[in-house]
């Protein structure tokens, strides 16, 4: 009897073990089914499967348990295939992005990022006096920083005695080589200037010359070897709501982009007291990197357009702007003081300073683009 009871107990234990194993397996299967059903469908990830498309095209029908199991199996299989395919596509896209160059490089890739304000230099003295600021400024603009072996000015081009505008043709700088290869470009900004002797000389030497004058009757005109445009350079672009009837005031960066020009070998400007704000704009927008030589007439009898502050602060601002030129690679090589101008410095007679100076700088760090773009036909 004892042996029979032991066999019965062992049999019951085996049956209970089998039942518990089956119960655990059923619970595991139910858990898996629940997790698969709670997973996001492939279409939610942006990868619709063929099963989803067929579901959208066909009307919904009632299915039995076998159809539901087949549908769930197909859905899970399509979902896994979609994930695998998505991973392969992403990997291919990453590889292409690493191998292919960028689509469209900027027009001026060497242009620096925009700045909001210039860096003001320390005061000339702890007293912040006008005399100290004026002495430092005048000494700076009358002391050449680099020697040019070949300077061409009005004396050489017309035989006149003025000699105010000057261009450096020293072979150690790029402009002479650009002239020989017919890749030289000149921008000349003025207000009704009649003397274009320097521009004619540069045009005959192989430069593409553009003269900008807002007093012209026609918007664009070509005379002999020079272009004339009814455009004035400004330190700001006009408002989009304002449509000018005759002339357009634009920043130099905008003019360069409109004309499709990257470099300007010589930038000549006489802006009648607007030069300080224009120069500030060139510094802040990094346009100076596109200029090889800068010929600029400075007017010192008053602060200039939109230059605020007391007299010592104004001169400190002027000096800081010119130091920004130096930090951008520009070196002064020619200075001219017009003897016919009054001796006024901010409405005062200080150190017998003239009210107007013509300065010429050469960019010793300039690296122009050597693409042959000479004499592109401009269509307006």
- In this structure, of 106-115, 168-177, 369-378, the range with the lowest mean pLDDT score is 369-378
The pLDDT value given to residue 1:
52
Range of the domain at 305: 130-377
- Inside any domain, residue 166: yes
The better pLDDT of the pair 84, 284 is held by: 284
- Inside any domain, residue 142: yes
- Inside any domain, residue 13: no
The pLDDT value given to residue 81:
52
- Inside any domain, residue 48: no
- Inside any domain, residue 339: yes
Q: Residue 70 in contact with residue 41, Cβ under 8 Å?
A: no
Task: Report whether pLDDT(372) > 80.
Answer: no
- Inside any domain, residue 8: no
The pLDDT value given to residue 23:
80
Task: Report whether pLDDT(323) > 90.
Answer: yes
Residue 234: helix, strand or coil by DSSP?
A: coil
The pLDDT value given to residue 246:
64
> pLDDT band for position 194 (50/70/90)?
low
Q: Percent of the chain, pLDDT > 70?
A: 67
- Domain containing residue 318: CATH number: 3.40.50
Task: Report whether pLDDT(251) > 80.
Answer: yes
The whole-number average pLDDT for the span 198-208 is 93
Alpha helices in the chain (DSSP H): 2-38, 50-57, 65-99, 130-141, 154-158, 174-180, 197-204, 252-259, 275-284, 311-327
Indicate the number of domains in the chain.
Answer: 1
> pLDDT band for position 85 (50/70/90)?
low
Task: Report whether pLDDT(210) > 50.
Answer: yes
- Inside any domain, residue 194: yes
- Inside any domain, residue 227: yes
Identity of the highest mean pLDDT range in 268-272, 290-294, 335-339: 290-294
**Cβ contacts of 240 within 8 Å, gap of 6 or more:** none
């Amino acid at each position: 009897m004892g042996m029979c009871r032991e066999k019965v107990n062992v049999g019951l234990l085996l049956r209970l073990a089998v039942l518990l194993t089956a119960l655990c397996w059923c619970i595991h299967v139910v858990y898996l089914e629940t997790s698969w059903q709670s997973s996001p469908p492939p279409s939610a990830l942006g990868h619709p499967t063929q099963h989803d498309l067929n579901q959208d095209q066909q009307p919904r029908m009632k299915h039995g348990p076998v159809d539901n199991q087949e549908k769930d199996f197909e859905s899970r299989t399509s979902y896994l295939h979609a994930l695998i395919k998505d991973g392969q596509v992403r990997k291919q896209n990453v590889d292409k992005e690493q191998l292919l160059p960028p689509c469209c490089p900027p027009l001026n890739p060497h242009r620096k990022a925009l700045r909001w304000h210039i860096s003001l230099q320390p005061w000339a003295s702890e007293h912040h006096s006008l005399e100290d600021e004026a002495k430092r400024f005048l000494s700076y603009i009358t002391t050449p920083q680099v020697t040019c072996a070949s300077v061409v000015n009005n004396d050489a081009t017309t035989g006149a005695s003025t000699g105010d505008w000057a261009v450096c043709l020293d072979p150690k700088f790029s402009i002479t080589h650009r002239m020989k290869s017919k890749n030289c470009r000149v921008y000349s900004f003025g207000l009704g200037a009649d003397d274009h002797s320097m521009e004619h000389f540069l045009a005959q030497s192989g430069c593409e010359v553009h003269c900008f004058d807002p007093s012209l009757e026609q918007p664009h005109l070509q005379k002999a070897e020079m272009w004339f445009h009814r455009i004035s350079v400004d330190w700001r672009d006009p408002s989009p709501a304002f449509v000018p009837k005759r002339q357009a005031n634009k920043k130099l960066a905008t003019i360069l982009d409109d004309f499709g020009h990257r470099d300007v070998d010589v930038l000549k400007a006489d802006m009648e007291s607007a030069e300080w704000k224009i120069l500030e704009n060139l510094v802040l927008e990094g346009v100076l990197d596109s200029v090889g030589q800068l010929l600029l007439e400075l007017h010192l009898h008053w602060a200039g357009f939109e230059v605020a502050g007391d007299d010592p602060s104004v001169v400190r601002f002027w000096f800081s702007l010119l130091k920004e030129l130096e930090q951008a690679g520009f070196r002064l090589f020619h200075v001219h003081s017009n003897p016919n101008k009054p001796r006024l410095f901010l409405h005062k007679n200080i150190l017998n300073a003239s009210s107007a100076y013509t300065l010429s700088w050469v960019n010793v760090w300039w690296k122009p683009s050597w693409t042959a773009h000479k004499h592109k036909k401009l269509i307006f």
